[in-house]
Amino acid sequence: MFIDRVKLHVKAGKGGDGMVAFRREKYVPLGGPSGGDGGRGGNVIFEADSNKTTLLDLRYQKHVNAPNGGNGKIKKMHGADGADTIVKVPLGTIVKDASTNQIIADLTHNHQQAIIANAGKGGRGNFRFRTSKNTAPRYSELGEPGEERDVQVELKLLADVGLVGFPSVGKSTLLSVVSKAKPEIAAYHFTTIVPNLGMVQVPDGRSFVMADLPGLIAGAAAGKGLGHAFLRHIERCRVIVHVIDMGAHDGRDPLEDYRVINEELSAYAYRLMEREQIVVANKMDLEGAAENLKRFKAAYPDLRVFETTTIIAEGMEPLLYAIADALAHAPMFPLIDEEEETMEGVVYKFEEEKPAFAVHNLGNGRWLLDGEGIERAFKTSKIDSDEDAMRFARKLRMMKVDDALREAGCQDGDIVTLCNVEFTFVE
């Protein structure tokens, strides 16, 4: 099965907890704290693999989890780091955040990797908190939780040339003649329901990858007839080969076919009409094909049209040379929508720094604290003892949470909720 779109839930590993321990040995006076740090969790990493052609492996794997880090140990021993979970995907895979639709990774090179979910850091052991004033700390940190998100994984075929046209115009036959690909060929519409790839060898030694894309129909750019699912695979093609049934075997007018398909390509978001396009007049052995070709050339005198009869492999060599010549000067990175910025490497975008916390008045003396910074501080803090609680209170005071609550109107005895845990505010 050809699967080109999958939704997954990815979760990186949690960091290991730091340990509270003291060194007590017979001949080691004043051994002191010796609790080790926890290990980091495992990352969820996607890696491009040229041996993969579909996302079928992920179709039934709805959750991808990385292992947690090991807890710290005695004698200042560090916990084991969690192993990274590597997910192999085909070249041309795009990973998007399902909630924001923002692109996280675009994997176009073999063995290219991208971290999709970052692992949580390990918590510090009590050895890390020793000072000249507190020589025997009895607290440690919990490991940070790993990043967790829903992602949309999409495959866009990496092909140099894309075959477009109405159903049953001979695209699959053309691919089968010029390459060793074996697409399904039959005399009914939408025989091809998934893209097919083939390596094409030109007689002079040049080669390129050609994609046979499912037939387009009017309204494809608006999603009609799975239009977006088909057009998505044209986005990375550097040259477009427009195949037309010049014999009008299905009763359609070749001139109208050419106009409709180009309208759908121009309506799509990736400036497809600005790319090199080669027109192929196919099925020239049918009655009326010569007359239709004459009308077509009269309507479009500036176009160079290649006459072929793919079923008997006639007219292939001039076409292949023309495609190879077009690829020689076509840009390596096809034009996309002007609003999107692309470059080879990392794209850095300015993002405003988010506040560490926010105060919400729930009414009736109840308050809510939320925010990435304060939630991380809570999740990495133990509150098992009075010493732990006092340390967490000092951490909140340093973050100026107390001042923010007072300015908002919080009174002595009010209830403050943080991560579903209730605290009593005391001046």
Q: Taking Cα atoms as reference points, which of 56, 5, 312, 54 lies closest to residue 197?
A: 54
Q: Tokens 């390509």 map to which residue?
A: 265
- Give 341's pLDDT tier (boundaries 50, 70, 90): very low
Cα separation, 8 vs 300, whole angstroms? 47
398 Cβ contact list (under 8 Å, min separation 6): none
Least confident of 76-85, 190-199, 392-401: 190-199
Q: Taking Cα atoms as reference points, which of 264, 263, 317, 315 lies closest to residue 293?
A: 315
Cα separation, 123 vs 380, whole angstroms? 7
Q: What average pLDDT does the segment 15-43 reach?
A: 90
* Alpha-carbon distances, residue 200 vs 8, 30, 52 (angstroms): 35, 76, 19
Q: Tokens 């080969």 map to which residue?
A: 241
Contact present, 395 and 418 (Cβ < 8 Å): no
* Alpha-carbon distances, residue 109 vs 105, 189, 241, 355 (angstroms): 12, 35, 25, 37
Contact present, 408 and 414 (Cβ < 8 Å): no
Q: DSSP string spanning 43-86?
A: -EEEEE-TT---SHHHHT--EEEPPPPPPP-STTPPPPPPPPEE
Q: Taking Cα atoms as reference points, which of 178, 175, 314 lies closest to residue 246?
A: 314
In 192-304, alpha helices (H)? 227-231, 254-267, 289-299
Q: What percent of the chain has pLDDT over 90?
A: 29
Cα separation, 336 vs 236, whole angstroms? 9
- Give 229's pLDDT tier (boundaries 50, 70, 90): low
Q: What is the pLDDT of residue 108?
A: 84
Which residues, listed in sequence order, are joined to residue 10 by a DSSP beta bridge?
Answer: 64, 149
Q: What average pLDDT does the segment 122-146 reach?
A: 90
Q: What is the pLDDT of residue 118?
A: 94
Least confident of 82-91, 111-120, 223-232, 256-265: 223-232
Q: What is the pLDDT of residue 186?
A: 55
Q: What is the pLDDT of residue 46?
A: 95
Which residues, listed in sequence order, are joined to residue 25 by a DSSP beta bridge?
Answer: 28
pLDDT over 70 at 293, yes or no: yes
Phi, psi (rounded to 5 degrees) for 159: -130, 145
Least confident of 104-108, 145-149, 329-333, 414-418: 329-333
For all residues of the chain together, what is the average pLDDT?
A: 84
Contact present, 27 and 96 (Cβ < 8 Å): no
41 CA to centre of own chain:
22
* Alpha-carbon distances, residue 405 vs 346, 372, 381, 402 (angstroms): 40, 17, 21, 5
Contact present, 192 and 215 (Cβ < 8 Å): yes
Q: Taking Cα atoms as reference points, which of 150, 96, 120 lies closest to residue 375?
A: 120
Cα separation, 188 vs 168, whole angstroms? 7
pLDDT over 60 at 226, yes or no: no
Least confident of 176-180, 269-273, 278-282: 269-273
